[in-house]
Amino acid sequence: MRTFLLLTLIFALGGVILPADSQAASVYRWTDENGTVHFGERPPEGSNAVLVNTTNTTHGVTGTQPKEPASRPNADSEDDEPFEEELSAADKSRRDRAERQAKAREEQEQIDLNCAAMRSQLAWAEPNPRVMVQDKKTGEVRRMDDSERLDLVNEAKTYIAENCD
């Protein structure tokens, strides 16, 4: 008997609570002539209102037009432009940020490659007093003198100290 009463209570409460979510009011977003953004259940007539997605709280505005659009007597008026400029500025900002991040990643990859090359050069040139190199002009293999070798080692150490972790 207790189980029956408990199940009846659960179904009764479920029938009251669940429909409340499905009957949620529509929320609209619009910008007034002063550039102030407003939210409400009924947008004023003549506004460029956008239906707000209230079920997905992570993104907010759906970008879709309302199911029952507000009347727009002057569809070609200048009131429509501030919202469009606002969206295009946000899109431009996102694109610029993505480009800067991609460029920074490329630069960091190049720095990492240079760091690896300098560490390799340092490991090769520092412990060996007799370093053999190929002359760029003639193509002949020759021994690097100590001043050249020390310059190469110092160059590698300086680069590593300034650019590498």
> Is the Cα dihedral 145, 149, 150, 155 positive or negative?
positive
Average pLDDT of the residues of the chain:
76
pLDDT tens across 17-38, in order?
Answer: 555 445 556 788 878 888 788 8
Closest CA to 71 of 52, 47, 51, 50: 47
Give pLDDT, residue 48.
79
Q: For residue 34, what are the CA distances in angstroms to 40, 61, 65, 72, 82? A: 17, 20, 22, 18, 10
Q: Name the strand (E) or helix (H) holding 144.
A: strand 141-144
> For residues 13 and 7, what is the distance between their CA atoms, to the nearest angstrom?
10
Orientation of helix 146-163 relative to helix 81-125, angle to 10°: 150
> For residues 66 and 30, what is the distance between their CA atoms, to the nearest angstrom?
11
- Please state the pTM of the whole predicted model: 0.42
Tell me the residue ranges of DSSP E strands in 80-139.
131-134
Give pLDDT, residue 99.
94
Q: Which regions of the chain are under pLDDT 50?
A: 20-21, 58-62, 66, 69-75, 80
The alpha-carbon radius of gyration of the chain (Å, integer) is: 34
pLDDT tens across 133-159, in order?
Answer: 888 888 898 888 889 889 989 999 999
